Amino acid sequence: MFCSRLLILQEIVSHENLVKINDYFYSLIGNEKNVITVSKLAKAIDISENLAAKVLIKCRDANILCEKYSIRCPNCGLLVKRIESLEEINDDCFQCYNCDEDFFVSPKDIELLYSLVEDGKSVFIDGQQNNTSCSTAISVAPSDTLHGVLLAGGVNEYFWHFDDSKQAYFMEFLKRVKLAKGTTKKIGDTLENMTKELFKCCSAFVVSNIRTTTNQIDGFIRNKMYVPYGVFNKIGSEFIIECKNESNTPKGEYLSKMHSILTVANAGEEGKKIKFGIIVSKKKGPSTFRTLAVKYYLSNKIVIISISINELEDLISKKGNLLEMIDRKIIEIETDSTTDLKECGLYSS
Ligand SMILES: [Zn+2]
């Protein structure tokens, strides 16, 4: 039997490995179907753990696998809690009932378990793992933790969820935003709304509006699952977005205004609290955006990037990764790069 949905893996694995992965999934019986990990897949198919992590993330995004999490005590390795969603992890301190150790959960303490989704429903039944090796194991292979998967599979790929239906939804949304005139604002076809919806495709972000005493900020984004990896290191735990709907080239002063908002927000925190902002505009920003952004980065490490609606259209039409685009744009400011990193082939989004 061959599951044609696995063909989405063609981009990253050879045909031979594709067949092996298919056979491996079909060979699993009973509770084995619910405790698939990076290290088990890598061993069974004889592929690298990096590739195995990417395969599992792709299968998760295609709803072939469902992802669950176990929190383990970093001291004794005991399974302390099983959770359905990473959002359940907050800043609370956990106490291990085995060794009494108090700890804050880090990505190294979260074990990722994948289960086969059958008939559109998960076969994962809570409690079944208790009688398997996964809960009695004293230690978990580092590659099976969230830390390991983020390192191997890539942070951008892990947190960005953009499937065919989202692509279709955003292509339509984009059309309406482009056509929208001032009066249609109330029906919601605005650049702000589209931008907010798009950022929600990153499962680590919580998008909201905030009103400060002096400024209305279009989008205030909290990185709820703050993991110190890749692009998240650069954008920090909170950042802001401003959207410019006008049909003319946005003014350079928008960037200076955002910089002053960020500077005020950071008062007394030495530029550590909010260090990142994005200006999204219908027209591409002027060249002064780049000049000012580089200057601000050099003076106080605050990074402001700009994204035009054409760039969003390109991203949506190619099913690109927004986190990868943000990553690239930040690097361009940090390195004051005169080379377009996308044109020279370093980034695809
Ligand atoms: Zn313990």
pLDDT in tens, 199-243: 999 988 888 765 554 556 677 787 776 677 888 888 888 888 999
Find the 98 Cα to ligand 1 centroid distance in Å: 5
Find the 81 Cα to ligand 1 centroid distance in Å: 12
Sign, CA torsion 260/265/269/271: negative
Find the 74 Cα to ligand 1 centroid distance in Å: 7
Cα–Cα nearest to 327, from 338, 335, 317, 319: 335
* Token reading at 286: 């002027």
Are 82 and 129 contacting, i.e. CB atoms less than 8 angstroms apart? Answer: yes
- Residue ranges with CB less than 5 Å from ion ligand 1: 73, 75-76, 78, 96, 98-99, 101
- C-alpha to C-alpha distance for 204 and 202, rounded to whole angstroms: 5
**88 secondary structure, DSSP code:** G
The vertex-95 CA angle with 92 and 96, nearest 5°, equals 140
Find the 282 Cα to ligand 1 centroid distance in Å: 53
Find the 35 Cα to ligand 1 centroid distance in Å: 22
Largest CA distance in the chain: 64
Backbone angles phi, psi at 314, to 5 degrees: -60, -45
- C-alpha to C-alpha distance for 313 and 32, rounded to whole angstroms: 42
pLDDT tens, 89-143? 776 788 898 899 898 888 899 999 999 997 544 443 343 444 444 444 567 888 9
Find the 265 Cα to ligand 1 centroid distance in Å: 39
Q: Which residue has the tokens 């400011």?
A: 333
Find the 106 Cα to ligand 1 centroid distance in Å: 14
Find the 105 Cα to ligand 1 centroid distance in Å: 12
Please tell me the least confidently modeled range out of 135-139, 151-155, 185-189, 331-335: 135-139
Find the 227 Cα to ligand 1 centroid distance in Å: 23
Find the 110 Cα to ligand 1 centroid distance in Å: 14
Are 134 and 169 contacting, i.e. CB atoms less than 8 angstroms apart? Answer: no
112 three-class SS? strand
Q: Is it true that 4-153 and 164-334 share their CATH fold?
A: no
| pLDDT tier at 339, thresholds 50, 70, 90 | low
Find the 332 Cα to ligand 1 centroid distance in Å: 44
Whether the per-residue pLDDT at 20 is higher than 80: the answer is yes
Sign, CA torsion 262/263/267/273: positive
Helix (H) or strand (E) holding 281: strand 276-281
Find the 75 Cα to ligand 1 centroid distance in Å: 5
* Token reading at 310: 């054409």
Find the 123 Cα to ligand 1 centroid distance in Å: 29
Q: Which residue has the tokens 């067949």?
A: 19
* Token reading at 334: 């940090």
Find the 33 Cα to ligand 1 centroid distance in Å: 27
| pLDDT tier at 39, thresholds 50, 70, 90 | very high
164-334 folds as Restriction Endonuclease (3.40.91)
Write the CATH number of the domain with boundaries 4-153: 1.10.10
Find the 78 Cα to ligand 1 centroid distance in Å: 6
Domain assignments of the chain as residue spans, ordered by start? 4-153, 164-334
- C-alpha to C-alpha distance for 323 and 141, rounded to whole angstroms: 28
The alpha carbon of 342 is separated from its chain's Cα centroid by a whole number of angstroms, namely: 20
Which amino acid appears at position 257 of this protein? K
The burial class, CB within 10 Å (0-12 / 13-18 / 19+), for 169 is middle
Find the 142 Cα to ligand 1 centroid distance in Å: 17
C-alpha dihedral over 239, 202, 195, 176, to 10 degrees? 180
- C-alpha to C-alpha distance for 273 and 177, rounded to whole angstroms: 32
The pLDDT of 19-45, averaged and rounded, is: 94
| pLDDT tier at 308, thresholds 50, 70, 90 | very high
Find the 96 Cα to ligand 1 centroid distance in Å: 5
